[in-house]
Structure 1
Amino acid sequence: MSTPVAASTHALRKVYGKGEASVAALDGIDLDIGAGQFTAIMGPSGSGKSTLMHCLAGLDEVTDGRVAIGGTDLTRLKEKALTRLRRDRVGFVFQAFNLIPTLTAKENILLPLAIAGRRTDDEWFDLVIRTVGLEDRLAHRPSELSGGQQQRVACARALVSKPSIIFADEPTGNLDSTSGAEVLGFLRRCVDEFEQTIVMVTHDAVAAAHTDRVLFLADGRIVDELWEPDRELVLERMLALSDGTR
């Protein structure tokens, strides 16, 4: 059986500027993201990887083409419907954590549900908290947590609403190697145990080696991909891209 598609693009183009000053950040992207898979997006600086993630997540308006989450075409949605879709079906994890400093860890985790006016599924909440290992940190504010703990709070916040897909933008970028490994291990468990779909932008070959599939971008196009990656293979492909030998 083929894997269901969690998100997709068809002939996706994103152009900044107009006329001679225009720049195509994405130039004809056809992509299917498999449900229940961990996908990394990599590429040199300026290759379009963050733009691709933002378009997939409905954060950026596309210039041409189509973007869908599940069977919903984001390019056809009006702003209110798009906001509702992002709130109800998409989770986000950012490099800078984006926690509210005056709220406790628990309050930060439950914030998306509070905004949406949804009740907490206590059984699911407890499972998420046990998985991220934050049982004894729920009453602490962000300033009382390590960087790794803050990112685990952000991961739990992304998971608590049971999204269709989670987008992670350099989630280990501000972490030391030990904390980064903890967060990557948790994201891997989310895929393996919860059948969560995760798309992660990263420049780190170690992070990419935790995923099922790596997409390599250059000049706004997907130029290569790697299944079941390891660190050495990822580094080899990235070196080939930087040398222009792809």
Structure 2
Amino acid sequence: MSRAERTQLPGGGEPVNADGQYSLDPLDLAHASTVERAAEALRQALFAGELTPGTPLREVALADSLGVGRSTVREAMALLTAEGLVTRIPNRGVVVTAHDSDQVKDVMHARLVLEAAGVRAWSEASTVDRQRVRAAFDTYAQLIDDGAPVRAVSEAHLHFHISLVALTASSRLVAVAQSLAAEIRLALAHVDRVRGDVLEQLGSHRRLLGLLESGDGDATITELRAHLSAGESSLLQALDQQA
């Protein structure tokens, strides 16, 4: 293709030809799928507490364990680094993220901002998104009634909170909320929390949902702030006991 046949994209991007076609290499979808599967396997190991905070993640050992190449593991860990689940430390490599009190407070503050935005969007939210909040709560409550494992209850609990953010109808805000939830899952995986207050937690969520469905945004945000503050205190206490 001659220089005359190329057109530069705004901002200095990749050139296109006269027909408006990009001169990009085809995607290797099979490779991308393998990277994501490797990343998901590592996520589940992290959330299950199989890899503890500060544990070095060695490419060779992980590649052998997962049955993939080192480059796949490297790319998978890059995804987890972006999610805050692992941390790259100079001269040490990649390790499982160890959350400290400041990080926990920051995550919980960010959650409050996002979820409060969802609460404020309730009156303008679609019927489908409102119904999803109710459905998420019902699933959470049913798991508690069934005596489901703590991890399953925790997943449903976080899904309920993400459904609040989804009321904003912003996929980007939901993506941020999902990333924050992943960090909370990681922190929860490494503390001994036998939730004896599970019914109290259920009651708090029921009050929160009731206020939300009543349309009282201010009261809902007040309840949300108290709920997240209590969760933060509980998590910080548990982390301190593990230190």
Which TM-score bucket, shorter chain as reference?
A: under 0.3
TM-score, scaled relative to structure 1? 0.24
Which structure carries more helix by proportion?
2
Which structure carries more strand by proportion?
1
**Higher RCO, 1 vs 2 (CA within 8 Å, ≥6 residues apart):** 1
TM-score, scaled relative to structure 2? 0.24
